[in-house]
Amino acid sequence: MATAAFFDVDNTLIRGSTSAYMARGLIGQGYFTKRQVADLLFRQVRFTITSNEHAGDMAVIIGEVQRLLAGRKVSDVARVGGQIFDDRVIGNLWPEAVQLVQDHLANGEQVWLVTSTGQEIADLVAERVGATGALGTRSAIEDGVYTGELVGPPLHGPAKAVAIRELAERLGLDLAASFAYSDSANDIPMLSAVGRAVAVNPDRKLRKHASDRGWQILDFRYPSLVGRSLAWARVKI
């Protein structure tokens, strides 16, 4: 059976929040106002700092983004999103994480990004880093236009584990021999669904959980540890 590596995006592959970068960029394109973006970012930062981020919180944030995008052409958002990524996001990719993506691909393994970010932006990030594909939150689209609704729940927390199991069944992937990377305790279900879980830039709860279970821990925020961590990672891949 084939194997894969599943990467969370925010704070795992990219420093910070993809949605935050995109929202700021969309201000200049007339999609959002500064006040609307400030409100969204305040909620996101509050949930993250207080460690109370959960599916209900994410549903509120993502639902508000969907409402703001209602009536916009998907093709226009994708085009502008590409410009924003190249201007604002590409310089905030963790080089070490991108190297891991390339290492997995070089080993003949599939690489899938798994994120609560909208599917169209997730696809864009996957294309830019050379990943096999992406699993993201799906928006309802009619005649090429966002309706303002979601198709199913946000891809967050336990929903990520469900998504990779469904993908594995569809593509014949061996999850027991596969990898998963994330920074957040919210992704413990996804990390637990594979045989080789790796905590990347972990929050406090995930660091403890990973340490208790003997999972590999990589932290790209502290340069002195990066070389040693990557050497260990490459031996284990």
Catalytic residues: 8, 10
Distance of CA 18 to the CA centre of its chain: 8
Q: Which of 7, 1, 4, 23 is nearest to 135 (CA)?
A: 7
Residue in the block written with tokens 């400030």: 38
Structure tokens at 9: 């995006």
Question: CA torsion angle for 8, 11, 16, 21 (degrees, to 10)?
Answer: -20
The CA distance from 18 to 158, in Å, is 20
Q: E strands of the chain, at which residues?
A: 4-7, 110-118, 133-137, 139-142, 145-150, 179-182, 196-200, 216-218
Instruction: Give the CB-side neighbour count of residue 75, counting CA atoms within 13 A.
Output: 3
